[in-house]
Amino acid sequence: MGVLSLNNHIPKPGDLYSSLSRMKVVFEFDEAVGELVSSWPKSSPPAEAIRYLESYQSVVMDRARDGGIEEGVYGNPLHLYAVIKRLVRLWPSLKPHLEALQHDQQEGVVVVEAVRLVLQAEKSTVLPDEVDLTGATIALARLQHIYNIPVADLMKGKLTSTHTPSSISLSVEECVGISETLYNNWLLAFAWHWASSCIKATTNQQLQLSIQQLMDKIEQKHDQSWTANKNNFLPKPLNISKNQVPYQNTYTYYCRGVHQKAQHSLLRCHVGNRGSHYLTLQPVCYEELYRDPDLTIFYDVISDAEIEQLKGIASEMLKRSSVGKQNQCNEVRVSQTAWVANNTSPVLPTINRRIEAITNLFLYEGNLYNRAAELLQLSDVVAGGSTVFPQLKLSITPVKGSAVFWYNLRRNGDTDPKLIHGGCPVLLGQKWVANKWIREHKNFLRYPCSTDPNQ
């Protein structure tokens, strides 16, 4: 939820893998194809149908086990990768057989109608392409790296130690294909790691030789790249900070939950009206997450009904998230965003009034700096998806209906570098959040400025 609105965005191939809401339609089409293929009519099924069905069987098993597709199927990155690969690599060769079946006079009316419906559904469904397959492959490798998941576990359908493994699995050949995709996209460290795991997973000597040749190519490309760029490096560091840890390392640590709560004994939980008559009869529950700078999480800020309305509005406006001033897409930020104006729905002024009462700040849509931020959590997440503040050693797990609040600016007007934060990728499930940026224009009395450089 923001201060700008965008026109509806029509989904297109290449954008699908970055949005589970878009992929849901793709999974529904895949289900229709899978059900049709699994009950192939009188004639013997072609090899293309058999391959499609073999790949699709894991969806049937996981859906039966979980009673739905929300978390067990389309919230699972292995299934996301598999369905995109199935529709990119297998569907084009299967489609001609269905078209021929549609005109087969020996088949019954029911079969012909089922085939017609699938082919008609294809015309109204945006299907993934090679760009989506590459994106899903890189996303899977990124999840493996950030959450330090053994590739051998992924090959068995295991994402975490606390959740039941999926019925889906990755063959050694698929593992090698992932490594080759990473190699072709210059993710050489990832590519080598996957290849080295593949070679341990097979006893086929011919396949081992092929994988070793791939690893040699990866090493050669890495070394050539290093040699070509070594003159750009300084002979020695300009300065050295004691016990310095790269930012990316701390980010992955906290995404994995490896963090310290040094302030834990100082933090408190509260129930109150925050000085607002609006909250007198229905006080808000909130918890201190950090002090100096202050981070607070408020619970039950937004209802399930309001969440569904927000998601319904945003779903038709989603487009690929961009980074930087040039608004370019980047594989580091794989998500989709919609800007929703306050006059889009009657539910938004109600939510805004509640946020004003909780924060004691005006929600004025000015054109000055973002004084504060309110992060509304619109979903629970099965695994992953935390918001981390590396410099505070803080990781915040999504809680549906809650809102995390902090001030972006210090009282002297400077940005607070301690509040640099990032979202961890979702490992299992899906994540919806809404950001509300609160401008400083009308809040100079409610959150006074200071000339003290230390404030």
Report the pLDDT value the prediction gives residue 443, as an integer from 0 to 100.
63
Question: What tokens appear for 130 in the block?
Answer: 């090679």
Report the pLDDT value the prediction gives residue 298, as an integer from 0 to 100.
95
Report the pLDDT value the prediction gives residue 9, as an integer from 0 to 100.
38
CA distance 327 to 359: 30
Q: What is the pLDDT along the chain (455 residues), one digit of tens a residue?
A: 333 222 333 455 556 777 777 788 899 999 999 999 988 866 678 999 999 999 999 988 888 776 655 667 888 999 999 999 999 999 999 999 999 888 776 666 778 888 999 999 999 999 999 999 999 999 999 999 999 999 999 999 999 888 888 889 999 999 999 999 999 999 999 999 999 999 999 999 999 999 999 999 999 998 888 776 666 665 665 555 555 445 557 888 889 877 656 566 788 999 999 888 889 999 999 999 999 898 999 999 999 999 999 888 888 787 766 554 545 555 555 577 888 877 788 888 899 899 888 988 877 555 545 557 888 899 999 999 999 998 888 999 999 999 999 888 776 767 788 888 888 999 998 889 988 877 666 665 566 666 766 66
Report the pLDDT value the prediction gives residue 287, as an integer from 0 to 100.
95
- Only one residue has tokens 């959040």, namely 433
Question: What tokens appear for 4 in the block?
Answer: 């700008």
- What is the helix, strand, coil percentage profile of the chain, to 5? 45, 15, 40
Question: What tokens appear for 372 in the block?
Answer: 């504060």
Beta-bridge mates of residue 388: 395, 422
Which one, of 36, 145, 12, 17, lies nearest residue 82 by Cα? 17
**Helix and strand numbers, DSSP H then E, in the chain:** 13, 13
Q: Which CATH number fits domain 259-443: 3.40.640.10, 3.40.50.1360, 2.60.120.620, 2.40.160.60?
A: 2.60.120.620
Label residues 184-205 b or e (16+ Cβ within 10 Å = b): ebebbebbbbbbebbbebbeee
Radius of gyration, alpha carbons of the chain: 25
CA distance 455 to 453: 6
CA distance 306 to 285: 19
Q: Taking the CB of residue 44, how many other CB atoms lie within 10 A of it?
A: 8
Report the pLDDT value the prediction gives residue 455, as an integer from 0 to 100.
61
Q: How far is CA 414 from CA 324, 402, 404, 409, 448, in A?
A: 20, 28, 21, 6, 13
Report the pLDDT value the prediction gives residue 266, as an integer from 0 to 100.
82
Cβ distance 56 to 86 under 8 Å?
A: yes
Q: What is the DSSP string of 379-397?
A: S--SEE--EEEGGGTEEE-
For the chain, give every residue range classified as CATH 2.60.120.620.
259-443
Angle at 419 between CA 430 and CA 148, to 5 degrees: 45
Report the pLDDT value the prediction gives residue 243, as an integer from 0 to 100.
53
Residue 137's identity, in one-letter code, is T
Cβ-based neighbours of 71, under 8 Å, separated by 6 or more: 382, 428, 429
Which one, of 423, 350, 440, lies nearest residue 386 by Cα? 423
Question: What tokens appear for 337 in the block?
Answer: 């965003």
CA distance 376 to 432: 9
Cβ distance 22 to 318 under 8 Å?
A: yes
DSSP run (H or E) holding 14? none
Q: What are phi and psi of 351, to 5 degrees?
A: -65, -40
C-alpha dihedral (139, 223, 249, 414), degrees to nearest 10: -100
Which one, of 444, 301, 293, lies nearest residue 366 by Cα? 444
